[in-house]
Amino acid sequence: MGSPIDDLLAALPAGRVLTDPDVLTAHARDEADLCDAGTPLAVVRPRSTAEVAAAVRVAAAHRVPVVPQGARTGLTGAANAVDGAFLVSLAGLNRILEIDPGERIAVVQPGVVNAELRRAVAKEGLAYPPDPGSWESSTIGGNVSTDAGGMCCVKYGVTGEYVLGLEVVLADGEILRCGRRTVKGVAGYDLTGLFVGAEGTLGIITEITVRLRPAPAEARALVAVYPAMTAAGQAVSAIVAAGHVPSMLELLDRTHLRAIEAYRPMGLDTGAAAMLLAATDTGDGTDLAAIAECCRAAGASELYVAGDAAEAEALTAARRLAHPAMEHLAAQAFPGGRGGLVVDDVAVPRSRVADLVAGVEEIAARHGVLVGVVGHAGDGNLHPVIVVDRADESSMDSGRQVFDEIMRLGLALGGTCTGEHGVGLLKRDWLAREIGPVGTKVHRALKRALDPDGIFNPGKVIAPG
- Hey, which residues between 128 and 147 contact a copy of itself (CB under 8 A)? 146-147
Among the listed residues 103, 293, 311, 405, the single contact to a copy of itself using CB under 8 A: 103
In which element (H, E) is residue 107 found? strand 105-108
Burial class from Cβ neighbours inside 10 Å (0-12, 13-18, 19+) for residue 110 reads buried
In the bound state with a copy of itself, the residue whose beta carbon lies nearer, of 153 and 374, is 153
User: From residue 79, how far is each of 86, 111, 191, 233, 355 by CA, in Å?
Assistant: 12, 14, 22, 35, 32
Among 38, 84, 227, 439, binds a copy of itself (CB under 8 A): 439
When the beta carbons of 331 and 463 are compared against a copy of itself, the nearer one is: 463
- Binding pattern to a copy of itself, positions 43-82, x when CB under 8 A? ----------------------------------------
Separation between Cα atoms, residue 419 and residue 384, nearest integer Å: 12
Among 418, 425, 457, 459, binds a copy of itself (CB under 8 A): 418
Which of residues 133, 160, 339, 372 is near a copy of itself by CB under 8 A?
160
The reply on whether position 376 binds a copy of itself by CB under 8 A is yes
Site for a copy of itself in 182-241 (CB under 8 A): 182-191, 193-194, 196-198, 202, 214-215, 237, 240-241
Stretch of 59-67, 305-313, 394-402, 434-442 lying at the interface with a copy of itself (CB under 8 A): 434-442
Buried b (16+ CB within 10 A) or exposed e, 164-188: bbbbbbbbebebbebbeeeeeeeee
Of the residues 176, 309, 331, 358, which one makes contact with a copy of itself according to CB under 8 A: 176
In the bound complex, what is the minimum distance in angstroms from residue 110's beta carbon to a copy of itself? 18
Cα-based angle 453, 458, 463 (whole degrees, multiple of 5): 105
381 Cβ contact list (under 8 Å, min separation 6): 149, 153, 345, 346, 347, 375, 419, 420
Rank residues 299 and 439 by Cβ distance to a copy of itself and give the closer one.
439
Q: Which stretch binds a copy of itself (CB under 8 A): 157-165, 290-298, 363-371, 398-406?
A: 157-165
Stretch that binds a copy of itself, among 7-15, 37-45, 114-122, 448-456 (CB under 8 A): 448-456
The residue (of 94 and 457) whose beta carbon lies closer to a copy of itself is 457
**Which of residues 40, 111, 339, 419 is near a copy of itself by CB under 8 A?**
419
Interface mask (CB under 8 A) for a copy of itself, residues 233-252, using x and -?
A: ----x--xx-xxx-------
3-state secondary structure of 167: strand
Q: How far is CA 140 from the centre of its chain?
A: 11
Q: Would you say 331 or 446 has its CB closer to a copy of itself? A: 446
**Interface positions, 309-368, toward a copy of itself (CB under 8 A):** 347-351
Residues 6 or more apart in contact with residue 403 via CB below 8 angstroms: 34, 342, 344, 386
Candidates 12-20, 149-157, 290-298, 317-325 — which segment interacts with a copy of itself by CB under 8 A?
149-157
Class of residue 276 by CB neighbours under 10 A (exposed 0-12, middle 13-18, buried 19+): buried
Q: Segment contacting a copy of itself (CB under 8 A): 134-142, 304-312, 356-364, 446-454?
A: 446-454
* Rounded Cα–Cα distance for residues 233 and 391 (Å): 36
Site size toward a copy of itself, by CB under 8 A: 82
Number of H helices, E strands in the chain: 15, 19
Neighbours of 340 (CB within 10 A): 20
CA–CA dist 73, 37 (Å, integer): 15
Interface positions, 13-42, toward a copy of itself (CB under 8 A): none
Per CB under 8 A, the segment of 148-156, 272-280, 288-296, 297-305 that binds a copy of itself is 148-156
Question: According to the binding rule CB under 8 A, does residue 173 interact with a copy of itself?
Answer: no
What DSSP assignment string belongs to 420-436? SS--TTTTHHHHHHHHH
Decide: is 10 part of the binding site for a copy of itself (CB under 8 A): no
Q: Which residues contact 448 (CB under 8 A, 6 or more apart)?
A: 454, 465
Q: Of the two residues 146 and 255, which places its CB atom closer to a copy of itself in the complex?
A: 146
- 381 touches a copy of itself by CB under 8 A: yes
User: With the CA atoms of 313, 316, 321 and 322 taken in that order, what torsion angle do they form, in degrees rounded to the nearest 10?
Assistant: 180
CA–chain centroid gap for 127, Å, is: 19
Which of 348, 387 has the CB closer to a copy of itself? Answer: 348
Q: Does 427 bind a copy of itself (CB under 8 A)?
A: yes
Give the long-range contacts of residues 328-335, CB within 8 A, separation 24 or more: 328/259, 328/262, 328/263, 329/259, 329/262, 329/263, 329/370, 329/387, 330/387, 330/388, 332/262, 333/370, 333/387, 333/389, 334/387, 334/388, 334/389, 334/390, 334/391, 334/392, 334/395
Site for a copy of itself in 256-315 (CB under 8 A): 284
The reply on whether position 154 binds a copy of itself by CB under 8 A is: yes
